[in-house]
A and B are shown apart, each in its own frame.
Chain A
Amino acid sequence: AQSVTQPDIHITVSEGASLELRCNYSYGATPYLFWYVQSPGQGLQLLLKYFSGDTLVQGIKGFEAEFKRSQSSFNLRKPSVHWSDAAEYFCAVGADRGSTLGRLYFGRGTQLTVWP
């Protein structure tokens, strides 16, 4: 069965510091992988996605993620965090076949706090 694990519930970084949010997935085939961000009281916004090809994908707001098949990971990174990046981040894997086509399986989320 598909599943997503985000090991870090809460991460705190200083503004300007680098950031890495971890995501591990379980899926039987080539996964469709996504990172979403949710600001307080808002819906989810797509940061980036991976389907195939280059394993390093670029997203919006200066974020990037690297797909590592051998580690079943899709970690999100940003070289220099801004205070406006404080939010909750969700990793998700998409089902590409059968009766669950199109559905997303989400991790529990990582809450990011940014210190000034």
Chain B
Amino acid sequence: DAEITQSPRHKITETGRQVTLACHQTWNHNNMFWYRQDLGHGLRLIHYSYGVQDTNKGEVSDGYSVSRSNTEDLPLTLESAASSQTSVYFCASMAGFDSWDEQYFGPGTRLTVT
């Protein structure tokens, strides 16, 4: 069955380190999204991509970057981790917008920055 996976599921890192969170989907969806979830804020969009070589900033993109070299993967990089980036990160993918197909969410990565 097609799926969306995230790795690692849990990560502890130190302030200032570079961290990359992986997201992989097997639906061949063009559209992929990264959100962070914090208590009291719901989910907020970090970056998104409409296809290979396309990336766009969301509302909370400072300190994060993404790259899209193939359809299946959208890794999220924290250039220099900060304590404010301690959060749960969700990746999502979506086929298209003609009928607003469902966004499928991964299981999440819990990141702690100490």
The answer to whether B42 and A107 have CB atoms under 8 Å apart is: yes
- The one of B43, B56, B99, B106 in contact with A90, judged by C-beta atoms closer than 8 angstroms, is B43
| A43-B108, A46-B102, A94-B100 given; A103·B58 CB < 8 A | yes
The answer for the CA separation of A106 and B92 in the assembled complex, in Å, is 14
The answer to whether B100 and A44 have CB atoms under 8 Å apart is: no
- Residues from 60 to 116 in A contacting B, C-beta threshold 8 Å: 90, 94, 96, 99, 101-104, 106-109
Instruction: Write 18 A-B pairs (CB below 8 A) sorted by A numbering.
Output: A42-B107, A43-B105, A43-B106, A43-B107, A44-B105, A45-B105, A49-B100, A90-B42, A94-B100, A96-B100, A102-B48, A102-B50, A103-B48, A104-B103, A106-B43, A106-B44, A108-B40, A108-B42
The chain B residues found within 8 Å of chain A, CB to CB, are 31, 33, 35, 40-45, 48, 50, 56, 58, 90, 92, 94, 97, 99-100, 102-103, 105-108
